[in-house]
Amino acid sequence: MQILYCYPSPVCVFDGKRGPPGAHYRSCQMIEKKLQRRFRRAIWEHARCTLIRGNMLTLPFEEPHMMCEPRFGANYPRENLPESLEKERQHDPDRSNSDMREAEDDISDRDEDEREGDHDDNGLPKKRGPRKKRPGKEMDRSKVRRHEANARERTRMHSLNDALESLRKVVPCYSKTQKLSKIETLRLAKNYIWALSETLSAGKRPDLLAFVQTLCKGLSQPTTNLVAGCLQLNARNFLTDHNGEVMFSGRSPYDAMYSYPGSDMNTPPGHSGSNLDSSAKPFRHYSYSGAYEPYYENPSPEGGSPHFDGQLSPPMNFNGIFSLKHDEPPDYGKSSHYGMRYCSAPGRTALAHNSMYRVSPEGRFPYDLHVRSQSFQAQGEVNGSFHN
């Protein structure tokens, strides 16, 4: 029987994976702790039996008390510990100590209770009544409080991580396999918000290069590569300098941007995926210009006057500016900053709540994109391109 300990790096006994803590993991952890307790008890019972047996073999029969009263308290000599326990102690003294203490306490408590149940200090039969308070009670209490505080802290950090995970899902380049680190997630989210705000406040087709540069500002090179890979860019064209500034070192920006197979846009030589960074996964290619035109230049499907109701959830990613991502849109009404930014953008095409927005009438952009209240099937496909 093999037990994998929870602390300090929890491992799920069922699938052998370390965190992250989730519902499944937590339930596993509870079961695991039960198993640990049972296991420790089993070990001690085994040790007890072994030593009793050993004593039976080595001790003269005239010392039968050793058989019925083996002591495993704190003063029990370590050299008499079973090998497995001694090994464990050497491997991790702190943990083993606490575990040992716990197990020892269990057993010594039991033994003590058994003894106390018979006689009092004077050897007279023990009277019934409230138990004497032990001197260590106050310390036990603070210990318990510390444990509770630890548990709360864990829960707090877990909820923080949950929030971070949901943030990962709404920034570009979400990947279950290659997760952005916490700090990179926050940086990317900040950049993303900033870039989108700039785009919206400008109210015109954004400078793609500037957008990507803003997106990658301050990110590490691997994350920059990842973002570039997600956006189907040649990651090597975007170099992060020592200050975290993203520099373009390739050809003209639009050459390095998207090309949709069969489009009349120039396809950069060797852009068939071979020049992508190794971290870049095969993504769908989108027509940059085709994607933008309907949003900025065409009249709204309803032919209404340009207005904006301020309820639109923020765009999902650069070419997904036309995809509305959030299943559970945040309450943007609370954010005056966003509301102002959204409303202040001039010349924007109206997007009514129930309208369906077809990005490319020619079908060059292969997805129908819907506003929030409608089907998200196509949106899922689009997002899938980024969230491999």
Partner DNA sequence: TAGGCCATCTGGTCCT
Partner DNA sequence: AGGACCAGATGGCCTA
Is 150 a binding residue for DNA by CB under 7 A? The answer is yes
Q: How far apart are CA 228 and CA 275, in angstroms?
A: 12
The answer to whether residues 294 and 327 touch, using CB atoms and an 8 Å cutoff, is: no
**Among residues 31, 49, 144, 151, the one that binds DNA under rule CB under 7 A:** 151
Partners of 119 in the beta sheet?
125
Is 8 a binding residue for DNA by CB under 7 A? The answer is yes
Is 179 a binding residue for DNA by CB under 7 A? The answer is yes
Is 157 a binding residue for DNA by CB under 7 A? The answer is yes
**Among residues 184, 192, 292, 294, the one that binds DNA under rule CB under 7 A:** 184
Of 156 and 204, which CB lies nearer to DNA in the complex structure? 156
Is 368 a binding residue for DNA by CB under 7 A? The answer is no
How many degrees, rounded to 5, is the angle at CA 251 between CA 245 and CA 253?
65
Is 50 a binding residue for DNA by CB under 7 A? The answer is no
The answer to whether residues 238 and 228 touch, using CB atoms and an 8 Å cutoff, is: yes
**Among residues 120, 148, 162, 245, the one that binds DNA under rule CB under 7 A:** 148
| Rounded-to-10 torsion of CA 369, 374, 375, 379 | 40
CB of 134 to DNA, least distance (A): 19
- Give how many residues touch DNA by CB under 7 A: 30
Query: 248 φ, ψ to 5°?
Result: -95, 130
Binding string, residues 84-113; x marks residues near DNA by CB under 7 A: --------x---------------------
Of 281 and 364, which CB lies nearer to DNA in the complex structure? 281
Going 25 to 31 to 36 to 39, the CA torsion angle's sign is negative
Q: How far apart are CA 7 and CA 95, in angstroms?
A: 8
Question: What is the binding site for DNA (CB under 7 A)?
Answer: 7-11, 18-21, 92, 145-154, 156-158, 161, 179, 181-184, 220
